[in-house]
Amino acid sequence: MGYPDTFEGFMVKDQDKWWEFTKQEFQPKKFQERDIDIKITCCGVCGSDVHTINGGWGGAPMPLCVGHEVIGTAVKVGEKVTTVKVGDRVGVGAQIWSCMECKPCKTDNENYCPKKIDTYGAPYPEEMGGVIAQGGYASHIRAHEYFTFKIPDGIPSEEAAPMMCAGLTVYSPMLRAGVGPGKRVAIVGVGGLGHFAIMFAAAMGAEVYVLSTSPDKEEAAKKLGAKEFILTNDENWAEPWAFTFDFMLNSADAAHKFDMAAYLSTLSINGEMHHVGLPDAALPEIKAQMFAPNGCKMGGSHIGSRPEMFKMLQLVSEKKLKPIIEEVSISEAGCAHVVKGVAKNAVRYRYTLVDYDKAFPNR
């Protein structure tokens, strides 16, 4: 049928063949008064896409179109939409709906709404169409206006795309932790999330240290704003850094391999180790005694809020920050290439799928 009755996307049909994409039509949710239809221009490729389609995070409804770092143009707006008009360049991240009524939603914590709907793989209730949400490797996406964000003119679409998830995921916990001048911040991992975290922490005025197992990433880390680059595969690496870091953001999805006591020992008194890298495996055994020597703590978070998204975009715009991305044309082969690249940690440092008009010429 085609738009607006159906959208078209590159979809995975089988988690055992997670690298095989087929272009096919799917039915979007019912269009409602606060919805926005977006013709997609580009979409970032997130580690979550791979964890979802390969079963690392468990089962997923198939066939599935992933992608939750979406940039495009609003082509239709609901009658009660006030924040976006047709023709606006907008973005959508990893969440597409919340109830707007619970305590988290009413306190700018809608990303923790117990009824939240993720951008792909989540079921809509029957009153919204009863379909499975499908993501941004597609011709269009239909999103609630609260989870649709106007993109500042100075940020290229290909660079804005990975900010919709990766950028917000690291910015939100750092903002809430008070990262800024006078703070020593450690970023664990230099990847899609980590390279944003280094850049943002430096732009926020913090003194930035990078913890990594990859010596070949030192030059990039320092260009992004790191003061020191610390190799954590060196024996006794943590000893010189005892009681140093006020806040540690772990962006690597390898925490199940960490010597957690060593990482925690580098935190200052009451410092925090915060996880946004989410591995398939469980964390290593942790004893309560590990937190006692410096009164440290450990936590995690889920993306960020709408106000935090706009603060992040303002920071990027004002500081003229530029992520390190690789552009790949969207196609069945292109989608296979990017998910395999993410799985192999081959990308430096974030893929953005582009050339949507070539892939979806009849939209």
The stretches of 14-163 forming alpha helices (DSSP H) are 47-53, 103-106, 157-160
Name residue, tokens 């006030």: 82
Question: Which DSSP category does 30 fall into?
Answer: P
CA–chain centroid gap for 304, Å, is 10
Residue 41: name the closest of 2, 84, 74 by CA: 74
Query: Which of 90, 47, 79, 85 shows the shortest CA–CA distance to 66?
Result: 47
- Residue 253 pLDDT more than 90? no
Q: Write b or e for each residue in 139-176: b if 16 or more Cβ atoms lie within 10 A of its Cβ, otherwise e.
A: bbbbbbbbbbbebeeebebbbbbbbbbbbbbbbbbbbe
The pLDDT of residue 234? 84
Assign 251 a pLDDT band (cuts: 50, 70, 90).
very high
pLDDT (0 to 100) of residue 254: 85
**How far is the C-alpha of 147 from the C-alpha of 151, rounded, in Å?**
13
Please write the tens of the pLDDT for every residue from 264-296. 999 999 999 999 998 788 989 999 999 999 999
Predicted confidence (pLDDT) per residue in 301-342, tens digit: 999 999 999 999 999 999 999 999 999 999 999 999 999 999
Average pLDDT, the chain: 96
Segment 117-133, tens digit of pLDDT: 999 999 999 999 999 99
Q: Provide the percentage of residues in the chain whose pLDDT is more than 70.
A: 100
CA-to-CA separations, 246 to 207, 212, 262, 269, 278, in angstroms, rounded:
10, 18, 15, 8, 22
pLDDT for res 281: 85
Q: Say if CB 63 and CB 24 are below 8 A apart.
A: yes
* Distance, CA of 174 to CA of 359 (rounded, Å): 37
The pLDDT of 187-195, averaged and rounded, is 96
